Structure 1
Amino acid sequence: MFDTSRLGAWADLPFFTDDLPAIADKLDGTAFLPPTALTFKALERTQPDAVKVVILGQDPYHTAGKADGLAFSIPDDFGGKLDSLGNIFKELHSDLDLDRSKTSLDDWADQGVLLLNTALTVPLGQAKAHAKIGWSKLVTQVLQNLGAKPRAFILWGGPAKAYALQITGPHLIHTSAHPSPLSCHRGFFGSRPFSTVNQWLIDSGNTPINWADPL
């Protein structure tokens, strides 16, 4: 079901031999988002050594055509409501006075931002329905794998914040409410994740992220 040939160094995680087959069995014959070809896009696009920042969300968008395999990212030609991503852009403007028109976040991933969800699949129209089918083992292994050198972790929402205990070492851990319309006013707006992370990267001798449209 799942093509893992493009995982690169991530393929060494035990999850892909020990746990993925059971998840594939559970999903066999069911409809879910994003398409199987995009399920592991976040890992494929941002390899372990390239990760500077991790943004951890909840689960993919459960609207057809909206989830593209990167947490919070939406295809540029989607044309529907942005919901969480729209609120992320509002906070970006408030935080750094930057505007962004591209809804695809491929350029963030290419700069070393791992855009991962706590569940990598979701049934159409059923948010959080795949939260307990085994994806948590992958997320745990990814976070533990990234612990060897300092990185910035942005954890948005309760499911993401629950993984803070898996992050050990001299990292930046920035947490807030989820940017969804249901929770954005409970601490997401005003949390200033983008300036906080960029200042931490600069202080650590790294290049900051260009959060605006790619140059």
Structure 2
Amino acid sequence: MDVKIESSWKEVLKDEFQKAYFEQIVMFLKHEKALGKTIYPSGNLIFNAFDKTPFDNVKVVILGQDPYHGPGQAHGLCFSVQKGIKPPPSLVNIYKEMQKDIGSAIPETGDLTPWAESGVLLLNAMLTVRDGEPASHSKIGWESFTDAVIRKVSDLKDGVVFMLWGKFAQDKQVLIDGTKHYILKAAHPSPFSADKGFFGCRHFSKANEILTRQGKEPVNWQL
């Protein structure tokens, strides 16, 4: 099966693209389209996280759960929205923590593409969603694929900083070799939980301290 994805990831994940579950994902999405369902993000952006952050460039991983399910929002990067779209509440809280942690100005844009281009893999566990129906594609096989992505990063790289926000992301810790990677955990930045351990986590400065200690270029979090 020919999957349109950045070449380094295509090589790393080639075995996954041949598996039955991935074939089922493709068939499901084709069926949804045939039924006239609107799927987010658009097809050319489903693998945007991989296209913007080639495998060799990955130095930080932020895990999300489900793409945004409103028009114009999702573009394949977790927590990020397309240019011109108002930043959602969780992203606003991420910006507030950034400001307190590293003194950055609150960005006007919700587009996190510059993070992705500087080595931050912004990975959702599910890569698609039906319009207006959160978690509607949570059972179609995407987690098998994205779990494999996390394992590949863990197995084939060293010294990656994993930022796990909330229980869903923290449950993925079992896929990560903590003896050679760095795991930062905090509450989810959602308004329902941000004041229970996300605010004050200082993950942005901590990640850069870890990268600097390894001789890696720190992330420019300022957008």
List gaps (5 residues or longer) in structure 2: none
- Report what 1:93 is aligned to: 99
- Report what 1:157 is aligned to: 166
Distance 1:143 1:124 in 2: 27
Residue by residue over 1:9-61, the C-alpha shift from the partner in whole angstroms, topping out at 9 and shown as x without a partner, is 21231222213220122222232211111111001111111101001111111
- Report what 1:22 is aligned to: 24
Q: 1:120 aligns with which of 117, 127, 130?
A: 127
Q: Is the aligned partner of 1:138 residue 2:145? A: yes
Distance 2:180 2:87 in 1: 38
The structure-2 alpha-carbon separation of the partners of 1:195 and 1:176, relative to structure 1 and needing over 3 Å to count, comes to: same
Distance 1:206 1:47 in 2: 16
Contact 2:16/2:145 (<8 A) preserved: yes
Identity %: 39
Contact 1:118/1:159 (<8 A) preserved: no
Distance 1:182 1:122 in 2: 22
Alignment of 1:29-178 (within 5 A): 29=32, 30-78=37-85, 80-99=86-105, 100-147=107-154, 148=156, 149-168=158-177, 169-178=179-188
Distance 2:222 2:199 in 1: 18
What TM-score results when the alignment is normalised by the length of structure 2? 0.88
Contact 1:57/1:157 (<8 A) preserved: no
Question: Greater shift after overlay, 128-137 or 203-212?
Answer: 128-137
1:63 is paired with a residue of what secondary structure?
coil
Residue by residue over 1:43-83, the C-alpha shift from the partner in whole angstroms, topping out at 9 and shown as x without a partner, is 111111110100111111111111111111111212x3522
How many residues were matched structurally? 211
Task: Note the aligned Cα RMSD (angstroms).
Answer: 1.7
Residue by residue over 1:89-148, the C-alpha shift from the partner in whole angstroms, topping out at 9 and shown as x without a partner, is 011001111122332111111111000011111122222222222111111211111123
What TM-score results when the alignment is normalised by the length of structure 1? 0.91
Contact 1:179/1:188 (<8 A) preserved: yes
